[in-house]
Structure formats: C-alpha cells, structure tokens
Structure 1
C-alpha cells in the first residue's frame, strides 16, 4: 500500500525544538494507548540509545537504509542527518497515523515512507529501485508479535541484506536473540542504561565471510 501524501508548508512555520518534542511525545503516547502491542515503550527512545545503535554504521558506503516501525521519527531524523546525500531511507510502518505524521513532519527526498509490514521488505526495496539493503533497523517489539511473524521478519531481513550487511535491533527484552542466532553469522548484544527503561541492542551481521569464501 502506498504511503499517505500529507505535507505541511515548512517554510511558513517551523516549530521550535520544545514544541516538536511535545508533539512527538503526544503522538507517541496516543498510539501507545491505542496499540500497546505494536509499541515497545510509552516513552520515545533517548538520544543515547539512538547514538549507540547507529554509531557502528558505515555511513560513507551505505546507499540503502531500511527502518521498521519508525514511529514519530526519533531514529529516522538522525539517520537522515548522517546518511550520504545519494543514499535512500525506506521507513516501513503498519500504523497509518505514524506514516502520515512522518510524511507531514519530515521533508527529505531521500526518505520513502511506506505503509505495510516488515515481512514485505523485499518488495518495498525492489519498488524503490534497489536489490539489497546495507542496514536494516528495527524497534518492533518481537516478543508481542503473533506466532511465526517474528521468524518471518528475521528471515526476510536476512534475505534483503547484502553480504556483510547488518540487522540493528533495539528491544526491552532478550526475546529476539533466539530468532537472530539461527540465521545470522554473528550477534552481539549491549545494554543502554541511559534510556527509560534501559534497552538492549543487537547487532546481527549477515554472513560476509561465508559469502566471500563461496
């Protein structure tokens, strides 16, 4: 399903940082109340968490970055701030309100917001004119997904990543590790304490060494 065109006139009025934060928090809280199983926390991610997850990305070589569940764009904007001018970001969300919010708030030609499931990531990547992604980021709460959906998302993510690409995941439980370890070459885990609540991060690397050996 295509994304929703809803653009604001940014030249006419740009909200201050405080107003933007309050707007983001209000939207985030409303959606958490409506869809608690789709959102991992009532509070948006801290900048410390964002930096920890994204600091290992090779921004100079990245040409396609994919984000699952961008929400109000806490990670999205930082990704765009660091992304190469010629690269693209595909943000995939099942929540139409978040899709509309992102399209209204972020005006950047490198961003493509789509309404749909992460299970269909390969289709969205193909429709954007790419064959594979360099990195995929996810904050989807895997422990609350219906049976089999988490496994399917991890399998499709592995398939869409280039050799040596990485799946970056942040979660409030260790549940996702059991889904990552069977299919990714190496999975490293860290805890970010400067976040409410403290958050686990996972860096799952696709089999670069095996692909090169083959």
Structure 2
C-alpha cells in the first residue's frame, strides 16, 4: 500500500476521532451504539428526568453497594456517586471495553469500580470486590433484544445477588423487561417517564423481607 493510499485510509479515522472529541461523552456513547446497538439500546443517554425519577426510590442512607449494568459513558454513575455514602461502593458492569476504558479514565472517585464483563456474572463480580449482596442493581440493558437466554440469566442472577429489602431498578423502551423481572420479584412498581428520548418505562422490583431466598 502506497503512502497516498495510507493517507486516504487514515482520513476517515481522523474525521471520526475529531467528531468524537467534539461531542465528548456523547460521541463515545454514539460510537458504542453504532458498534453494538443490540447491547446499548439507545442512540442517546438518559435524560436527567429519568435519572432523578429512577433513583428517587433508593434508601441512600442504607446503601453500601450499588451495581449498574450497561453504564455507557456514566450518565447514571455521577448522580449515583453524588447520592451515595462516603463508605459505599458503586460497581458498574459492561461488555463494551471502550465504555469501561472511558469510565476508568474519567471517573476517579475511590468508591467507583468499572468491570468489563457480563451482568450474568454479577454474583462472582460482587464477591470479588468484597461483598456478598448488593443493595440495589440498576439496569438499562435492552432486555427485548438480548440474545436468547441472556435476559432470564441476568434476571435470575440479579434476584439472587440483591439483599432482602433491596431492589432491581430497570429503565426500558419496551415493557418486556417486566416479564423477566416478574418471574423473580413479587412486587414491582412501574411508571413512564415521558421526558426522555424516547420515553421510557421505569420499573422497581423489590425483594421483600418475606420473599424466598
């Protein structure tokens, strides 16, 4: 390949890099969506209205471990860290190494841990970081488009890892996630947040004290 051919090949990459730098975290998020729309689910991050409403049910005074699936570029991470106790921990899990690298580079809070892995392995990940149970688990993963068997595996593992009195917080663009949750969580609260692109369904699956282990 000649030097001129190399230059022509590199030019689109330079343009792409410039766009990502200009857009900042939105550029990283958009790139992640283009590379794997099945796992990212949305072309834009969640709105502040969705974030505030989703997190409004958390008992922050009694939250020692908060887990998030599919954190993307940290849209929820910073609001969670702002609300958490100083001795609490936030573990985020994502299969996209670009998102994980970005989060590790941009979030320096000592309470924050970013793991490149699968949400189905949440129990092992939680134990590896010194905990037996999580107080809350948040997920924006697109359950309706996950590969066969992955959604049920994540829902089951999530139920097992949440302590009694804790909850599974889910925001989705279709109501299908409730089906996965209902197999494990007896009590599910729901709402719709219209000020989001697109509007989304919100679910809080509670693991009550009288639930089976």
TM-score by length of 2: 0.88
Which residue does the alignment assign to 1:40? 41
State the distance in 2 between where 1:210 and 1:35 align: 36
Deviations 1:22-66 (A, max 9, x none): 311111111111111111110110000000100110000100000
Q: Supply the RMSD in Å over aligned alpha carbons.
A: 1.6
Count of residue pairs the alignment pairs up? 194
User: Of the two structures, which has the highest relative contact order with CA contacts closer than 8 Å and spacing of 6 or more?
Assistant: 1
State the distance in 2 between where 1:21 and 1:172 align: 28
How big is the shift at 1:210? 3.5
Which residue does the alignment assign to 1:9? none
**Structure 2 runs not aligned, ≥5 long:** 1-19
How big is the shift at 1:21? 9.4
**Deviating runs (4+, > 6 A) in structure 1?**
none
State the distance in 2 between where 1:51 and 1:95 align: 25
Between Structure 1 and Structure 2, which shows a larger proportion of helix residues? 2
- Aligned: 1:125 with 2:126: yes
TM-score by length of 1: 0.88
Which residue does the alignment assign to 1:51? 52
Which residue does the alignment assign to 1:160? 161
How big is the shift at 1:209? 2.7
Q: Secondary structure at the match of 1:70?
A: coil
